[in-house]
Amino acid sequence: MRYGMAIDTRKCVGCADCVVACQTENNIPIGYTRDWIAELNEGTYPNLHLEIRSERCNHCENTPCVRTCPTGASHIILGGIVKVTHEECIGCGACIQSCPYDARYMHPDGYVDKCTFCDHRVANGQEPACVSVCPTHCMYFGDLDDPNSEVSKVVAANKIKTLAPEAGTKPQIFYLV
């Protein structure tokens, strides 16, 4: 099993509902966030192109953040979800330095926090909070190893890209472009 996401940049309107849903669902301290919206403006008038993306930890296949963690607090659970055990984290910041997406942050309580793909919801058969609230249904979550899952089909049928592939982390969030 390999959890992953497909996000349709052509449907995303940048409303940031996913950001708020995550903050509520996961009790994120005020002023912090696990997901965010990025905009890419490209081209010269009149050939302008706008791409809006909802971004978070990519739950990479090749995880520098897990490798550089000295205590083993950063680890990978079933389905390839990258998690942090708060009680084992010493707050050294090594994993933050090693993430090319700056997807991690230091929780005010002294441990590192990041997107968990809402594994507590996924375990109950629900979708991550961000996916479930998206008003344009631009996000797909599921098992990338299963060719019949919705996310696999969407990834197979569309032109896709990942973020900063040159960083070599093999992201598991695919953007439809």
Partner 1 sequence: MREELITSGRMNLNIDPVLHIWHWQIPVYLFLGGLAAGLLFFAAYYTIIGKEKKFTTAVKFAPVLAPVAIILGLIALLLDLKHPAYFWQLYTTVHLESPMSWGAWVLMFIMPISMLWVASYFKEIFPKFDINQNIVGKMLKKVIVKNDNKEGANWDWKFEIIRKFEINFIKNRKPVAWVMLILAVILGVYTGILLSAFNARPLWNSSILGPLFLTSGLSTAAATIMWMSDNHEEKRTFSKIDLMLIVIELFLITHLFMGFLAGSEAKVQAAQYFLGGEFTVTFWINVVIIGLIVPAILETLELLKFKLPVMVPAAMILWGGMIFRFIMVEAGQVTRFLY
The residue ranges that bind partner 1 (CB under 8 A) are 14, 16, 19, 31-33, 36-44, 52, 64, 67-73, 87-94, 96-102, 104-106, 108, 110-111, 163-164, 166-168
Min dist CB 34 to partner 1, Å, is 9
Contact status: 64 vs ligand SF4 (CB under 6 A): yes
Contact status: 114 vs ligand SF4 (CB under 6 A): yes
Helices (H), 26-144: 64-68, 94-98, 119-122, 129-133
d(CA 87, CA 8): 36
Min dist CB 173 to ligand SF4, Å, is 8
The rounded Cα 134 to chain-centroid distance in angstroms is: 15
| Partner from partner 1, ligand SF4, none contacting 114, C-beta within 5 to 8 A by type | ligand SF4
Min dist CB 82 to partner 1, Å, is 14
Residues in the chain: 177
Structure token pair of residue 3 = 């959890």
The rounded Cα 48 to chain-centroid distance in angstroms is: 27
What's the first-to-final CA gap in the chain, in angstroms? 25
| Amino acid at position 125, single letter | G
Given the rule CB under 6 A, which residues bind ligand SF4?
57-60, 63-65, 69, 71, 73-74, 82, 84, 89-95, 99, 101, 103-104, 112, 114, 169
